[in-house]
Amino acid sequence: MKSFKYLVIIIFIAIFALSLICFYEMLSPELYYDFNIKYSAQAQPDVSGIKIAPTIRNNSLLIPSIGVDANLGNIENDLDFGAWLEKTNANYPQVIAIHRFGWATFNILQKTKTTLYNVDKLKIGNMVKVNLDNRQYTYKIIKIESGNATPELINNQLIIYTCQFFNSEARIFVITQFIG
């Protein structure tokens, strides 16, 4: 009877440890961001040295000011390693979704290049480029806002959105105006 009691305790501890690991994996991108980036000036990644290829790489999203150089696909699964062109019309892209934190296994360079990890560093006037179907579209950021509903789309605008927090309904919307 005593050995059965120890066996139950060991199984309970193992299940508890496994649930802690699963919980950590679910929250790790946001925890890493909160503890290592937001509160530590030394931990801020330097994106100034990231080079974006000068040639047009088809189907990509480029935001040079924060080092984003992400693949752009047209199905939701493309979000796993880049951005998803959610809505377009005949003339230009309109809505792009992209993760903020990415997978827990991404290193800081992968997070910087393939997600909007540094969305908090974007400023009004920064440039955004979308390479799509062998054409480059250039946009200028005119507004950055938070909310739960996608803002109204106005002609010649591109809305890029991401999660405000890991796995939350709140979104950050980067609203851009087409300039060429």
Q: Which residues contact 111 (CB under 8 A, 6 or more apart)?
A: 29, 101, 102, 117
The pLDDT score that the predictor gives to residue 56 is 58
pTM, two decimal places: 0.66
What is the rounded CA–CA span in Å between residue 168 and residue 151? 17
pLDDT tens digits, 133-157: 888 899 999 999 988 877 877 888 8
The pLDDT score that the predictor gives to residue 77 is 78
pLDDT tens digits, 110-135: 777 888 888 889 999 999 999 888 88
**Which two structure tokens, joined as six digits, stand for 160?**
């890029």
Helix (H) or strand (E) holding 48: none
The pLDDT score that the predictor gives to residue 44 is 54
The pLDDT score that the predictor gives to residue 127 is 95
Burial of 91 (0-12, 13-18, 19+ CB in 10 A): exposed
The pLDDT score that the predictor gives to residue 50 is 58
Which residues of the chain have a pLDDT value below 50? 37-42
DSSP secondary structure string for all residues of 84-151: EEEEE-SSSEEEEEE-SS--TT--HHHHHHHS-TTGGG--TT-EEEEEETTEEEEEEEEEEEEESSPP
